[in-house]
Amino acid sequence: MGKERDILIVDDNQVVCDVLTELFRNEGFDSWGVATGEACLDEVNHASCKLVMLDVRLPGISGIEVLEAIRRDHPRTEVIIMTSHVSLETAVQALRLGAQDYLFKPFDDLEMVIATVNKALERRRMVEERDKLVHTLTDLAIENGRILAECRRVNSSLEEKVTQRTAELSKANLQQKAIIAELHEAKEAAEAANRAKSQFLANMSHEIRTPMNGVLGMAELLLHSELDEKQKSYVEMLHQSGESLLGIINDILNISKIEAGRLEIERIPFDLHETARGAVELYREVGRRKGVAVELQIEEDVPRCVVGDPNRLRQVLINVVNNGLKFTEKGSVQVRVTLVEQYQNGQYVAFEVKDTGIGIPADCIGNIFGLFAQVDGSTTRKYGGTGLGLAIAKQLVELMGGAIGVESEPGLGSTFTFIVFLHRHADQSPCDEEGGDTPVELDNSMIAAREGRKFNARVLLAEDNPVNCEVAFAMIAALGCQVDVAQDGREAVEAFTRQPYDLIFMDCQMPEMDGYQATRAIRQRELGSGRHTTVIALTAHAMAGAREHCLSAGMDDYLSKPFNLAQLQELIAKWTSPHLA
Ligand code: ADP
């Protein structure tokens, strides 16, 4: 189809055709004319045309028929009907069939003809605009649909991914839960193993301490008997070896307690000078025999009365001084106590132990505070020891809020320094716990210990182990007491029922009825009688809580095996009235 043209005039009247063609051309339109309906249809079929000015009365096919054909085949072409005034009905029919407008002939007013044509063309233009708009909207709707479909596709693939990821996450979650459950099980197993280890240590400690009590007690009894020089030295060696073995057992127990977090540091008032002096004093004689001077210097500003754990402090000091002496062949071991820093609630005190011994090689210094660490680990070791002492010392010092370190020069000697925090004694008057320079009132035990006094008490000893029974019996008897023996808890309760005692020494673990049950039975029988017989536990249990266990069963005091004569003497003095002493 050719280029779209503007106005086709269809009229068999040649004059009308020419006038109108000329008129529209003058108006700037591309217009032309034909004389018949057939020619008109021919034209519109070949070149599209915006507007057809159609005469109704034509030779051949009528204007109405042409109109119908144009409406049917060229809906975008507008048609204006030209008719005479008399055929108004034809005009109405043409409008019904889709003509845009009509003009009556002859044309009186050409301006109106042009206006009608412009109006028709304007309408067509608007229809075209509308069509374009509809087209654009349709395109947009299609594009919209496409985008929507794309969104759905992306969405569904996203949903797929989310489902997949969720599945992966829940799988990972399940795996994680399984791992946590495994870890939980492993933790419980480890805790159970740890409990078993603690129980094993408690049992072992009990089992070892029981025979040790026999060994040490018998050795001590022998030392107090008539012996010639050689026998005495043998027994002394026996006693010393027993003491060292006990020391090792205590070290192992200490480590296991520290590892289990069960070692507690006490906070009691004590005399710091006395504690340091007492610990160093123990080694002066050993040093003298070896030819090594053991000296102690306490600076003047170091407070005397402090609050802390005197036993643990003594333990650390003894360990370090003992090492100093052990590893020094000539020269000295000098102990210096200084005040490092004072605060409102206490002070840091430093203990420096300087020896002129073998020293420690630089590559070993970092390790000696570890468990079982020794510089000389060979089987031909010159010096004994377990390698536990410094590890325990380090832990204890840290529990006392301090630290320990060493400086050493092989061949020249070592200086161990440890610092601990000691609380201030609220009342700065002399300490009651450990005495000092100020004279303290001596209680029964101290008087008895000092004077080696004998007692006149009636004592019941409940002990099933024959050797330990023999040891305790001999020791208590040696202190002047009258002793009855019961071989288990039941016998002890029966003996108590038969006659009163000043003191009962009660072993804790016994067949038939143990010491705790026996003590409870005794306390039961005492109810309402106004009597209270002192019951002192004898136990080889040295683990934490043993003392509390005894006291809660109704016992009054506690003596840990192995014990020596002096400890026994002190306890009897403490619990018997002065007239018995
Ligand atoms: P041990 O029971 O073996 O003495 P310690 O833990 O007390 O255990 O000491 C560990 C090691 O540190 C010792 O075996 C020794 O090699 C070294 N050591 C400790 N103190 C001294 C010292 N004063 N001089 C030289 N070596 C020392």
| Residue 413 beta carbon below 6 angstroms from any ligand 1 atom | no
Distance 363 CA to ligand 1 centre (A): 14
pLDDT of residue 436: 38
pLDDT of residue 433: 46
Res. 3 pLDDT band, cuts 50 70 90: confident
The atom of ligand 1 lying closest to the CA of 353 is: 23
- CA nearest to 503, candidates 465, 468, 467, 555: 555
Distance 251 CA to ligand 1 centre (A): 14
Q: What share of the chain is helix, strand, coil (3-state, %, to 5)?
A: 50, 20, 30
Contacts of 112 (CB under 8 A, 6+ apart): 103
Res. 437 pLDDT band, cuts 50 70 90: very low
Section 497-520 average pLDDT: 92
pLDDT of residue 329: 93
C-beta separation of 102 from 80 below 8 A: yes
| Residue 347 beta carbon below 6 angstroms from any ligand 1 atom | no
The atom of ligand 1 lying closest to the CA of 390 is: 6
Structure tokens at 557: 């005091």
Res. 164 pLDDT band, cuts 50 70 90: very high
C-beta separation of 271 from 432 below 8 A: no
User: Is the pLDDT score of 311 beyond 70?
Assistant: yes
List the beta bridge partners of residue 409: 413
| Residue 247 beta carbon below 6 angstroms from any ligand 1 atom | no
Res. 579 pLDDT band, cuts 50 70 90: low
Q: For all residues of the chain together, what is the average pLDDT?
A: 86
User: Is the pLDDT score of 486 beyond 90?
Assistant: yes
- Specify the higher pLDDT residue, 32 or 453: 32
**Cα(132)–Cα(137) distance, rounded to whole angstroms?**
8
| Residue 322 beta carbon below 6 angstroms from any ligand 1 atom | no
Pairing of strands 305-308, 268-271: antiparallel
- Specify the higher pLDDT residue, 386 or 42: 42
- Phi then psi dihedrals of residue 434, to 5 deg: -115, 10
Distance 341 CA to ligand 1 centre (A): 29
Res. 92 pLDDT band, cuts 50 70 90: confident
pLDDT of residue 434: 43
List Cα–Cα distances, 159 to 145, 150, 162, 168, 173, in angstroms. 20, 14, 5, 14, 20
Instruction: For 317-344, write each residue's pLDDT tens digit.
Output: 999 999 999 999 999 999 999 999 998 8
Choose one of 330, 390, 394 to mutate for the ligand 1 pocket test, by most ligand atoms within 8 angstroms of C-beta: 390
pLDDT of residue 51: 95
pLDDT of residue 449: 44
| Residue 415 beta carbon below 6 angstroms from any ligand 1 atom | no
Res. 511 pLDDT band, cuts 50 70 90: confident
Tell me what percent of the residues of the chain surpass a pLDDT of 70.
90
| Residue 505 beta carbon below 6 angstroms from any ligand 1 atom | no
Choose one of 294, 353, 374, 381 to mutate for the ligand 1 pocket test, by most ligand atoms within 8 angstroms of C-beta: 374
Instruction: For 340-381, write each residue's pLDDT tens digit.
Output: 999 889 999 999 999 999 999 999 898 899 877 777 766 555
pLDDT of residue 453: 58
Distance 200 CA to ligand 1 centre (A): 28
Assign 26 to helix, strand or coil. helix
The atom of ligand 1 lying closest to the CA of 376 is: 16
Distance 323 CA to ligand 1 centre (A): 6
| Residue 387 beta carbon below 6 angstroms from any ligand 1 atom | yes
- Specify the higher pLDDT residue, 490 or 225: 490
pLDDT of residue 134: 92
The atom of ligand 1 lying closest to the CA of 388 is: 6
Instruction: For 216-270, write each residue's pLDDT tens digit.
Output: 888 888 888 888 988 888 888 888 888 878 877 877 777 777 776 667 788 889 9
Instruction: For 170-201, write each residue's pLDDT tens digit.
Output: 999 999 999 999 999 999 998 888 777 767 77
Residue for token pair 């809660």 = 552
Q: How many residues are listed for the chain in this entry?
A: 581
Tell me what percent of the residues of the chain surpass a pLDDT of 90.
53
Which one of 173-177, 203-207, 439-443 scores highest in mean pLDDT?
A: 173-177
- CA nearest to 77, candidates 44, 102, 104, 32: 44
Name the pTM for this structure.
0.52
| Residue 358 beta carbon below 6 angstroms from any ligand 1 atom | yes
Section 398-414 average pLDDT: 94
Instruction: For 269-303, write each residue's pLDDT tens digit.
Output: 999 999 999 889 888 888 998 999 999 999 999 99
Residue with CA nearest ligand 1 atom 13: 374
**Cα(430)–Cα(410) distance, rounded to whole angstroms?**
43
| Residue 327 beta carbon below 6 angstroms from any ligand 1 atom | yes
